[in-house]
Amino acid sequence: MNVLHFTAECYPIAKVGGLADVVGSLPKYQNKLGVESSVIMPFYDNVFTKQHSFKTIFESSIHLGDAIIDFKILSLTENDLGFDIFFVDVPELLFKDYVYSYDDTDRFLAFQIAALDWVAQLEHKPTIVHCHDHHTGLVPFMMYYAHKYHMLNKIPTVLTIHNAQYQGWFSHDKISLIPAFDMEHIGVLDWDNSVNPLAAAIKCAWRVTTVSPSYMEELKRNANGLESLLSHETAKCSGILNGIDSHVWNPETDAYLIKTFSRKSIVSGRKANKKWLCDEFNLDINKPLFAFIGRLVGEKGADLFPQIFDISLQKNDISILLLGSGHDDIEQGLEDLKSKHKGAYNAYIGYDEKLSHIIYAGADFLLMPSRVEPCGLNQLYALRYGTIPIVHNIGGLKDTVIDISEKGFGFVHHEASVEQVCHAIERATNFYQNQPTFKKMRTLIMQIDHSWDASAQAYIHLYNTLN
Ligand code: ADP
């Protein structure tokens, strides 16, 4: 078996969120399990591409409407990622210092067409094509219906939905950019009067997965317009929980940490990381430290934070630290709060990989009041580093965190509301007061196994049903 993953993000090359972490680790574990697995993604203008060298393995050009655009397929000169990776280099469209922006339709269409042109001429073609999210959602449609890819139309395709909120909609005017296909199939591209790449992929892929079982069930009731489609296609749908790359996310070896630690050295290790955070952000090391890491958007419940933080800081003797970026008004609300709660609250508005690792290693509790959470990786990283999660009972959070009152190891609330999150923070603050129990719990959660081993095997099992 030979699997090719199509993706817009892949850690450590380009990361916006969890998609990158998954595609940067799943192929590695699949290779370890004996399934040849590689990745194809756009070639961006970023730190990784500046710091590495590449060789050209294929050159050609694509038609995008009337335009003829040259492209290259590149591979890494030296590759220690644990899987082969190929890059589609379309200088005028893809080589930008961002992954997503206003011009995604043309960019990701060019990516998908160029990638398929390359695959179409390969002597050893993939035996499974695995697409991730809407940016690669037209791949199955083109493989099955575009005349020029007729040699690919027997290859099974799998779609993994990491986030169904974003679907890549574009207007019918742009259909002419897609390589020629019989017009009788045009309806496959359409959902609610626009071209919908995610819907097209759900219709065309042989199997559809989500990144947790609960998220798949939730999508049948709430999928930003795709509920009936997912219910209709339910026979080919399943949820496979994400794993974490336990080599990258390992507190014993993590080079980003101020001090690495194992279960045996957890007390001194976590103290050193917490001290650094408290010094850096002017917080009191003796108070329980609550943190949030992530995109500042409604999906993550981040709009609730200014109110949650204000109330919780008045009621409890705690510290709060936030790392994230997103909507301007949420960022502003979080900035405004700094002066009111100086010494107890701070926020770094931006993206910082190193800081995120130190927070997982130094905070006492991690907040995740998400309204939608397909899997959520942050709670899994937190557990591995001994930080207790406080989560809304939804999607992957529901599948991975059990409340302390039910012999579990986290704090679970049943609504993404200011009241319920504040109540959960209060429960956690009380739990922190009993230091022996609190410390025992930290050590216990570090042992929970969320590595990719089981989930990578579940994907392989699914591929086996298709070949
Ligand atoms: P998403 O919906 O954003 O993909 P996930 O929980 O699946 O959410 O994955 C989020 C990933 O992005 C985690 O690795 C998290 O640590 C990282 N992350 C999110 N925001 C930031 C940030 N501002 N700085 C550093 N890392 C971040």
Mean pLDDT of the 288-300 span = 97
Q: Indicate which residue's Cα is closest to atom 5 of ligand 1.
A: 18
CA of 264 to the centre of ligand 1 (A): 28
For 347-368, how does the pLDDT look when each residue is reduced to its tens digit (9 = 90+)?
Answer: 999 999 999 999 999 999 999 9
The percentage of residues in the chain with a pLDDT greater than 90, rounded to a whole number, is 98
Q: Are 272 and 302 in contact (CB under 8 A)?
A: no
β-partners of residue 86 are: 40, 75
Which among 440, 120, 44 has a CA at the least distance from the CA of 267? 440
What is the rounded CA–CA span in Å between residue 260 and residue 251? Answer: 5
Pocket lining: 348 vs ligand 1, CB cutoff 6 Å = no
Return the residue whose CA atom lies nearest to atom 17 of ligand 1. Answer: 17
pLDDT in tens, 118-140: 999 999 999 999 999 999 999 99
Residue 375 has pLDDT above 90, yes or no: yes
Q: What is the distance between the alpha carbons of residues 248 and 21, in angstroms, rounded to a whole number?
A: 10
CA–chain centroid gap for 62, Å, is 30
Supply the pLDDT for residue 71. Answer: 98
Q: Model-level pTM?
A: 0.93
- Residue 22 Cα, ligand 1 centroid: separation in angstroms? 11
pLDDT, average across residues 232-240: 97
Cα(44) to ligand 1 centroid in Å equals 19
Predicted local confidence at residue 467, as pLDDT? 79
Q: How many A from CA of 163 to the centre of ligand 1? A: 13
Q: Which of 7, 16, 135, 293 to mutate to test the pocket of ligand 1 (most atoms within 8 A of CB)?
A: 293
The answer to whether residue 204 scores a pLDDT higher than 90 is yes
- State the chain's mean pLDDT as an integer: 97
User: Cβ(388)–Cβ(367) under 8 Å?
Assistant: no
Measure 315 CA to ligand 1 centroid, in angstroms: 29
Q: Can you say whether residue 92 is alpha, beta or left, with left for phi > 0 and alpha for psi between -120 and 50 degrees?
A: alpha
Cβ neighbours of residue 40 closer than 8 Å, sequence gap 6 or more = 4, 5, 6, 7, 73, 85, 86, 87, 88, 115, 118
Instruction: Give pLDDT, residue 313.
Output: 98
* pLDDT in the model for residue 10: 98
- Please tell me if the CB atom of residue 293 comes closer than 6 angstroms to any atom of ligand 1: yes
| Mean pLDDT confidence for 196-218 | 98
Ligand 1 close to Cβ of residue 17 (< 6 A) = yes
Residue 19 CA: which ligand 1 atom is closest? Answer: 4
Indicate if ligand 1 lies below 6 Å from the C-beta of 378: yes
Is the CB of 451 inside a 6 Å radius of any atom of ligand 1? no
| Token reading at 397 | 């959070």
pLDDT of amino acid 148: 97
| Region class of 65: left (phi > 0), else alpha (psi between -120 and 50), else beta | left
Q: What is the mean pLDDT of residues 422-440?
A: 98
Q: What is the mean pLDDT of residues 395-413?
A: 97
The three-class DSSP label of residue 191 is strand
Over residues 440-449, the mean pLDDT reads 96
- CA nearest ligand 1 atom 12, residue: 17
Tokens matching residue 366 = 């991690």
Q: How far apart are CA 323 and CA 345, in angstroms?
A: 12
**CB of 18 sitting under 6 A from ligand 1:** yes
Q: Sheet containing 388-392: which strands, arranged edge to edge?
A: 345-349, 319-326, 289-296, 365-368, 388-392, 411-413
Q: How confident is the model at residue 110 (pLDDT cuts 50, 70, 90)?
A: very high
Residue 429: band (very low, low, confident or very high) from pLDDT cuts 50, 70, 90: very high
Among the atoms of ligand 1, which is closest to the Cα of residue 348?
A: 23
pLDDT digits (tens, 9 = 90+) for 136-172: 999 999 999 999 999 999 999 999 999 999 999 999 9
